[in-house]
Amino acid sequence: MPEDLRETHTAATYTPDDDIKVHTENAIRLICKPFQSHESGLPEWAKNAADEYARTDAPEQERAIVLLMQNGRRGGPSTVIGCLDFSGMTSDVIEHEFRHWADPEAAHRTGAEVDVQGGHGNGGKCYMTQMFEDRAYVRTVKARRGCIYGTAGGSIRLGYFPDRERGRDFEVAGVREELDNALAEIGLEVEQLPEAAVAALDARQGFTLVVGRGAKGYDSRVPAAQLISELVEHPQMRRTLELCSVYGVAQGRLMNGGKPLRLPEIPPLPGGEQPRIIPIPDRLPDPYSGNDISTTDDGTSPSGSLTLRTSETRMWRAAKKSRHNIVYSARSGYVGFRAVQEFDVMSSYRDRIYGECSLMALEAFKLNDRGALAASPLVRALDDWIGQQIEAYAKEFEARERQQHDQEEKDALAQMNAALDRWKNDLLDRVLTDAEGPGRDGGGGGAVPPPPLPSGQVSRVDVSLTFYRAGVGVALRPTLRAFDAAGEQIRPPAVMWTSDNSAVATVDEDLRVINTFQPGVARLHCETFDGQITSNSVSLEVLEIASISLAPEQLEIPVGSRRHIVATCRLASGEEAEDVALMWSESEPSVARVSAAGMVFGFAPGATDVTAADERCGSSNSVRTTVVPAEDGGRSGRGYPRVLVSEIDADPDTGEDVVLSSDDPPVHQQPHDVERNIWWINSASPLARLYLDTSHGFGPDTREWRIYHLERYVDVIVQISMTQGPEAEDQMEVGEWVARWGERAADVQSAAVSGLASFIEHGELPA
């Protein structure tokens, strides 16, 4: 290096290039990756409308937004999805603001500090450019000047329709007449809009109609009710629904009885009616490094707060699942969310808590799709702290529900449960299948096989698959079920199989196995030999897999237990998929076996390597699986699961009481119990509460409790026998699973009646 440059170089100075080289089109397509569904895209249009109302300080009664959905019609327009508001845009706004990608100040173009949700100016345009096969455009009028601006299907290049001369700043005779013309092009009229929208049009004398034609994935019909239901629950829509009156119009008819859409009310827990507001400390420890992280940008941003709310019922149910989040907000408003289930919280009451976190310092970690926040020390520290607050709040409700038993009752219940647990271990040895084949005791006692299906006159044949996507060169078995005219399942008839794309996949008639050959899609069905009955068709997609990775990298399994390995396939398209049929193998089958679903069963102490592959691609790693002796020993070398009673038995690892809620199942496994092979009989379930309540004439020494207690053991034994034996068919159809469950339950109940009659009648504990 020349001497005159040495000093400059060591001082770490440099001369930047005059420009930045970016492949513009590819960069935009990468930005738009998260917006590839109507459920994630349409909220962006509604949010933009709400922000424009906020920027123009529109009166509350004029903040109307109408979501439009039209089915395709023969000879008419294709499927249409639209969003209408009554603000309008000028050509200046279109050309200097709207068409600008990745602008961090997109939501604050007026410079005023207004209550907008914000973004980077990408989401609405991404939805326009990606999810419509025909075209997507903005038709807008402001100050009696109109513009039509958008893009053709598949293009990210925006422009005027049909050209700049005719689509920019054209005069309109009347705003209402122009909107009627715009709506007529998609098969609607102004009169079909809600009254509040027509009033807003007349008051504001402007409108912005965003239209997408040829909605991808919907063929000729838009599932309006389903789409609106998804939108109402979307975190991005929460603030829009609070700020504006949002209506739905489908096929020209008002939805929701013509009333604005609203977030469903969530009744709170008793004692949790008021939100719990918790100030966020100015500094929080990073759980990775232990360093203190500022939550205020070292004092340049204000402190934040966490608001926790409660739900009377568990939120994992479908109706509330999408609201079961912590929603983050920062300077630009909504910036992301995280599902409560993802926080490290050890309490069943976690499923009844949700809330919001407001912290201005999070603005820098907002991602394009406003889902998860960008990984950073601050986000880690904050999420760790939020998890602690959720758990502390949940523990308060645990304490309220905790049932207090006197020590004598606890001792009696614990003694009773220990005896039943021993009885359960003996029975499991006879119920579970040995590695050598089916048999209750492995020595000829033999499990009674399920009775064969009856023969009958076939009325219907159903075909289903355990996997609907598979690799190349993979074999998988279809499920064939037959029914008579009464809907009862009967013995399947002989059938002939047909594939509409034999180059992709066919069915081996002799083995009844589907073999895959090359990437593509094949539809398969069968019919009886007399041609009278034809089954439904099932679609199998054969994938071009670029790589396969397995997780976890190592497994330790007690003898007699099982663990699941997840195979993540990266496809040639860049998509990742986990629900793919592959070929699984293990290096030492005598130690452990792996099923077609990636479930590993431990047979004997030792080690084996598990891999997955298709014909063209093998997994980049193998899972080293170590099978260890089961802690509880037992005949046949199995490790017995432990059955404990909540509030009676302490957690074996922590020594702390375990308190479940009345919402938890009568027999329950918390996530961390699965690895420990522990089951809990929930003493807080309604019937358990009743049968343990001496004030109602029951108690732990009554016949009613003993029967209830024993029934829960039957549940545990049946579930274990259905899921943990090496012969378990973890991909059974629902009907088959229910039938097999009933058969196993009958077997276990029969054993209980014959062996525990004295316990049931008189409370004599089994030896």
545-636 sits in which CATH class?
mainly beta
Q: What secondary structure letter does DSSP report for 371?
A: S
Q: How far apart are the C-alpha atoms of 580 and 612, rounded to whole Å?
A: 11
What are 602's strand-pairing partners? Answer: 592
Tell me the per-residue pLDDT of 677-687, one tens digit each, with 9 for 90 and over: 788 999 988 89
CB 349 within 8 A of CB 397: yes
- List all residues 6 or more positions away from 260 whose beta carbon is below 8 Å from its beta carbon: 196, 241, 245, 246, 247
Looking at the predicted structure, is the pLDDT value of residue 659 above 80? yes
- Residue 383, pLDDT score: 95
What is the reported pLDDT for 660?
A: 84
pLDDT digits (tens, 9 = 90+) for 43-59: 999 999 998 998 888 99
User: What pLDDT digit, counting tens, does each position of 406-460 carry?
Assistant: 666 777 888 888 888 888 877 776 655 433 333 333 333 333 344 567 888 899 9
Backbone angles phi, psi at 553, to 5 degrees: -75, -25
Who contacts 746 (Cβ-Cβ below 8 Å, separation ≥6)?
A: none
Q: What is the rounded distance in angstroms from the CA atom of residue 313 to the CA atom of residue 316?
A: 9
Q: What is the pLDDT of residue 437?
A: 35
Q: Which residue has the higher pLDDT, 300 or 445?
A: 300
Q: Which residue has the higher pLDDT, 744 or 64?
A: 64
Q: For residue 745, is pLDDT > 50? A: yes
CA-based nearest residue to 278, from 297, 291, 264, 295: 295
Q: Which CATH architecture has domain 460-542?
A: Sandwich (2.60)
Q: 30 pLDDT band (50/70/90 cuts)?
A: confident
Q: How confident is the model at residue 104 (pLDDT cuts 50, 70, 90)?
A: low
| 301 pLDDT tier (thresholds 50, 70, 90) | very high
Write out 521-564 in H/E/C secondary structure.
Answer: EEEEEEEECCCCCECCCEEEEECCEEEEEEECCEEEEECCCEEE
Of 182, 89, 180, 81, residue with least CA distance to 128: 81
Reported as a single tens digit per residue, the pLDDT across 179-188 is: 999 999 999 9
pLDDT-based confidence at residue 635 (cuts at 50, 70, 90)? very low
What does the pLDDT read at residue 446? 36
Instruction: Give the angle 320-325-328 at the CA atoms, nearest 5°.
Output: 140
The CATH class, in words, for 27-222+243-256 is: alpha beta
Full-model pTM: 0.52
Domains 460-542 and 545-636 share a fold: yes
Please state, for a pLDDT cut of 70, what percent of the chain lies above it: 85
For 371-402, write each residue's pLDDT tens digit.
789 999 999 999 999 999 999 999 888 877 66
State phi, psi for 251 to the nearest 5 degrees.
Answer: 55, 35
Report pLDDT digits (tens) over 477-527: 888 889 999 888 888 888 889 999 988 999 987 777 899 999 999 999 999
Write the pLDDT tens digit of every residue in 155-180.
Answer: 888 999 999 999 999 999 999 999 99
The per-residue pLDDT for 296 is 95
Q: How high is the pLDDT of residue 730?
A: 47
How large a percentage of the chain has pLDDT more than 90? 41
> Torsion-angle region of residue 433: left (phi > 0), alpha (psi -120 to 50) or beta?
beta
CB neighbours of 389 closer than 8 A, spacing ≥ 6?
278, 306, 308
> b/e for 519-540, b at 16 or more Cβ within 10 A?
bbebebbbbbeeeebebeebeb
Q: Kindly tell me if the per-residue pLDDT of 118 is higher than 70.
A: no
Instruction: Name the range with the highest mean pLDDT among 28-32, 88-92, 527-531, 715-719.
Output: 88-92
Highest-pLDDT range among 201-210, 559-568, 582-591, 599-608: 201-210
Domain ranges of the chain: 27-222+243-256, 276-401, 407-432+638-762, 460-542, 545-636
Structure tokens at 264: 């469903």
The pLDDT score that the predictor gives to residue 410 is 78
